[in-house]
Amino acid sequence: MTILVAGATGLAGSAIVREFTRIGKNVVGISSKDLNLLDRNATFVLLNEVKPTSVIDAAAKVGGIGANNSYPVEFLSENIQIQTNLMDASNKAQVKKFVFLGSSCVYPKNCPQPIKEEYLMTGPLEPTNSAYAIAKVAGIELIKSYRKEFGHSWISVIPTNLYGPNDNFDLDKSHVFAALIRKFIEAKKRDLESVTLWGTGLPRREFLHVDDLAKAIVLCLNQYDSSDPINIGSGSDLTISELAAKIASVVGFEGSIGWDSTKADGTPQKVLDIKKLSDLGWKPSISLNEGIKSTVEWYIKNK
């Protein structure tokens, strides 16, 4: 039994590789350094060579609000190509189980909270990342289509906002969690009296450590089999302002925190309903405070 993890050096992919390795599975991890998934022919060749029994698709072009808003063509086109090439090649290679990682941005901007899986495609998307969201919706639909046409036991999961080791801390491309860690650490090093952050700080977000995500992926691979996607989250949220205060405290930044309200906030609130996953016997094991501390320590050591 061989498990292929695409996007193996990224935030989610690296955690998934670590978890499958920890439980003694034979894992083959690939990244853009090994294979350009935009190259359709090369993708088919690799899947035919590896012949995995399972594929975990954690490969994607990702970024924060600024990047998504500035480069919608790349986020839509490249992600559709990546996931389509990988699924088509997996079908040709007779892969038994395929796990597609969606994103919580697939849900409508003004969704009822907490967000249930059935709310998918029930309203307009958040405009700042709608191109990326549409690509992920297409991936979820392609999984459904492969199940319908070929009878595959392929599934889609929808993770909430993730954080942890191997996150992208590039301020032009990072998500809010990693960006805050870098900004506060640099502000402390430079002995700044204040830090100004993007938006109002009022939006509410849910966060999950990637090691918890990886455990949930293993559980879903073994126990979930439905054409409907399944949410993976912590089930609780907080404001970006509260998150910033927690990270500043862990880092030891004692200056003031300001907000640039001319910058976009994104979706007002986003917390997932995780009842379907909880019913499988899963719950997160890493608290937010513990996760912030370990991620800050990882960043200081590795960056």
Active site residues: 132
Total residues belonging to the chain: 303
Cα–Cα distance between 85 and 226 in angstroms, integer?
22
Strands (E), 139-221: 155-159, 161-163, 194-198, 204-205, 207-209
Contacts of 107 (CB under 8 A, 6+ apart): 115, 119, 120, 270
Closest CA to 48 of 3, 90, 1: 90
Q: How far is CA 18 from each of CA 7, 11, 14, rounded to the nearest angstrom?
A: 13, 11, 6
Please give the angle made by the CA atoms of 190, 192 and 197, to the nearest 5 degrees: 110
292 burial class (0-12, 13-18, 19+ CB within 10 angstroms)? buried
Q: How many helices (H) and strands (E) does the chain have?
A: 10, 13
Q: Say which residue the tokens 């559980």 belong to.
A: 219
* CA-based end-to-end distance of the chain: 35
- At 125, is the secondary structure helix, strand, or coil? coil
